[in-house]
Chain A
Amino acid sequence: MVKLRPSELIAIVLLGLTVLVTLFGPFYFDNVTRAEKEKEHVFYVTARQWVFEPAEFVVKKGEKVTFIVSSADVVHGFMVTGYNIVAVINPGEFVKITFTADRAGVFEIRCSVYCGEPLLNSGAGHWLMKGVLKVVEL
């Protein structure tokens, strides 16, 4: 058993703390932040070529809804037809959209900024990038 000097003990503790904070700290902090937001009916949406993740949202009529939309690659758009919501989503930016779901029904969400397609004139890619918002009556 090697004799441990006080400086070595302190170093071991510091290293342990460093590892804990840097490797696990971020995940813990993020979980805490998101848990708080979930209480207010907040949806995190990631737009990437060529899907929204997640793409389906169900809320009750009259609720205050917040979308926090970001893009993982290029510039996309976030448009909710029927609620007159149009936003441009730049990569890395988190756009916060808050509104009250006062009308019931099924509303289409789609990408309002052309974001490419696998082959020109294929009709796929950007043109198929959609989601859906369901507002249900109580």
Chain B
Amino acid sequence: MESRQQYRWRFDLFRIPLIKWFVRKRWFQFAVITPNLAIFFILMIAGFYGLPVGNKNVSVLVVWILWWAALMILLVPIGGRLWCMMCPMPAIGEWLQRRTLTQKNEKNLGLGKKWPKFLDNIWLQNFSFLTVSSFIGVLTTRPLATAVMLFALVIVLPTILHLLFERRVFCRYVCPVSGFIGLYSMLAPLELRVKSREVCLKHVGKECFKGSENGYGCPWYEFPQNLNRNAYCGLCMECVKTCPLDNIALNLRIGGDDLLVEPWHGIKKRGLDEAFKVFIMTTLSILYALVFVGPYGWLKDLADVMGGATFKEMWSPQGNLLLESFNVESFLLFAGLVWGSTLLAAPAVFFAFSYAAKLASGVKHIPLKKIFINFSYSLVPLSLMSWVAFSLYILLVNGSYIVAALSDPFGWGWDLFGTKHFPWTPVLTSIIPYIQAALLIAGLYLSVKLAYRIAQRTMPSRNAAIKAAIPFAAMLTGLCLLYLGLWLDSFYWGWIAW
């Protein structure tokens, strides 16, 4: 059990007066959320009422290219849960729940139920992310689908949940985006921690969790005293306002043990939910690449679960061809592919390597489940690099669509900034493969290093640690070769061509 995380360097951003001042204001959250809420409203209007051409509609372009790339390349690897700080999704529900936009009220609106104990994990987030993924072919190509998703995630679901339950249950337990942001945020150089845990232990009030007249208790169900991982801290800064001892710090850091430690200093154990989240993200980075960038027409037809080819039997006599039919068979096949590969195939492969590691290390008393869970985190750096490679590629090849769409966000014939006729221009295509290779190999190194550090903490002796790390290093190398084959050999393996 550790009371201090290992760092090479740390700097408390709250030492900068402007940051400290801004974060302590009660209108801080409102100020950062409202612009994004405005943007999401515009995206919804564009999706519902705008041109149905996916690559000309800001709804699809901003959500699936700009926002996705911004999250994967910048916001998450560098800012951790920085997006969650400014995310508009829970806003309406939270404002209704608190009956205020900025103030601290004593009585909340709604039933204020406690979140059920058996759901105190991220399984729901795993399933919500897989559900979104099952429809990803339609979401990324039909603005209407994206608008419906935004409507459900911004207006409907969080509002219902926050009026039924207390705190931010949507963000902590349900939001599909929150799952992977939480996972990858553990690599980020930004963290919120207490300055001194000893000070917390002597303090009785615990306003950071319970709330005070200055603010609410942590809406994310975190307890700053024990906070040692970025995974579930949404950077909402309520604890900074309530702590009477000014004991909260927002650190920039090099080094950190988030992926190595148990949460809450060993009181709560890590479970299979997070391990499976790692498998989901790793496998989907391969699947998405195959579907969206690979030359497999049949796979794209499967993903296009609306069966929306232009000549369908659903062509109505009026000639309105946008009446597309939901193709049940194609949906079941694609969803089966998504859920099967992430929840069955990938864990099975990892299980085999975990077993090999247990055999190789020769330790009998450490349960296989513990090895399975602990080492699953070693995949995180490499899978993140794979997502960065994918998002960067999509951004560089198709990002120019956004420039044109900004002048005519709804496809109604406007030309606000004069860029309406900006041509589709893929940029840097000759060097993208090399950037991707560099990212992947760097990710491989970080993953192997992490696997070794995990081995050191899990195994009783150095000898056993090295022996246990070898199968995982081999697995990680194999995975990296798979990724390199995807991006540098462009998906062509003769036996699965066509």
Expressed in whole angstroms, the Cα–Cα distance for A5 and B30 within the complex equals 14
Tell me the chain A residues, 19-78 only, with Cβ under 8 Å from chain B: 19, 21-23, 26-27, 29-30, 33, 44, 48-51, 68, 70-74
| Option from B34, B105, B321, B408 in Cβ contact (under 8 Å) with A2 | B105
Q: Tell me, in angstroms, the Cα distance from A78 to B456 when the chains sit together.
A: 70
CA distance A68 to B318 in the complex (A): 23
A93 surroundings in chain B (CB, below 8 A): 421
User: Which residues of B are found within 8 Å of A85, using beta-carbon distances?
Assistant: none
The listed residue with most A CB atoms (<10 A of its CB), out of B26, B311, B320, is B311
Interface members, chain B 165-200 (any A CB < 8 Å): none
A118 to B445, CA, bound (A): 53
CB-CB under 8 A from B30, the residues of chain A are 11, 14
CB distance from A28 to the nearest CB of B (A): 12
Which residues of B lie under 8 Å from residue A128 when comparing CB positions? 319
* Cβ–Cβ < 8 Å partners of B313 in chain A: 118
A73 touches B52 (CB 8 A): yes
Q: If the complex has contacts A33-B414, A50-B319, A72-B52, are A15 and B101 also in contact, measured as CB distance less than 8 A?
A: yes
Is B53 touching A8 in the complex (CB atoms < 8 A)?
Answer: no
Instruction: Please name the residue on chain A nearest to B421 by beta carbon.
Output: A93
The number of chain B residues with a CB under 8 A from chain A is 42
A18 contacts which chain B residues (CB < 8 A)?
A: 34, 37-38, 41
A7 at the interface (CB under 8 A from B): yes
Given contacts A8-B101, A8-B103, A68-B413, contact A23 B311 (CB under 8 A): no
Which among B102, B105, B321, B411 is the interface contact of A49 at CB below 8 angstroms? B321
Say if the beta carbon of A119 comes within 8 Å of chain B. Answer: yes
What total of chain A residues lie within 8 Å of the partner, measured CB to CB? 41
Q: Is the CB of B56 within 8 A of A11?
A: no
**B461 within 8 A of partner (CB):** no
Tell me if A12 is interfacial: C-beta within 8 Å of chain B.
yes
**Chain A: CB-nearest residue to B95:** A15
The answer to whether residues A92 and B51 also contact, given A18-B34, A51-B319 and a CB cut-off of 8 A, is yes
The docked-state distance in angstroms from the alpha carbon of A19 to that of B92 is 12
Known: A11-B101, A92-B51, A92-B56. A44 touches B413 (CB 8 A): yes
| Bound Cα distance from A117 to B312, whole angstroms | 10
Per the 8 Å Cβ criterion, residues 395-451 of B in contact with A are 404, 408-414, 420-421
- CB pair B34–A23 under 8 Å, yes or no, is no
- Residue in A44, A51, A94, A118 whose CB lies within 8 Å of B320: A51
Q: Are B310 and A74 neighbours in the complex by a CB distance under 8 Å?
A: yes
Q: In this assembly, does B100 line the interface, its C-beta being within 8 Å of a C-beta of chain A?
A: yes
- CB neighbours (8 Å) of A8 from chain B are 100-103
Most A CB contacts (10 A, CB to CB) among B30, B103, B321, B410 go to: B321
Asked if residues A26 and B101 are in contact (CB atoms below 8 Å), the reply is no
B residues near A118, Cβ cutoff 8 Å: 311-313, 315
Cβ contact within 8 Å between A11 and B53: no
A73 to B141, CA, bound (A): 11
A35 to B310, CA, bound (A): 34
Asked if A23 and B41 sit within 8 Å, CB to CB, the answer is yes
Query: Closest CB of chain A to B313's CB: distance in Å?
Result: 8
A48 pairs with B322, CB closer than 8 A: yes
Q: Which of B42, B105, B413 contacts A26 (CB 8 A)?
A: B42
The 6 closest A-B pairs by CB, nearest first: A92-B56, A22-B41, A11-B101, A51-B319, A118-B311, A49-B321
A sample of 15 inter-chain contacts (CB < 8 A) reads: A5-B103, A7-B103, A8-B103, A14-B30, A14-B34, A26-B42, A26-B45, A49-B310, A49-B319, A50-B321, A70-B411, A72-B322, A73-B310, A92-B408, A118-B315
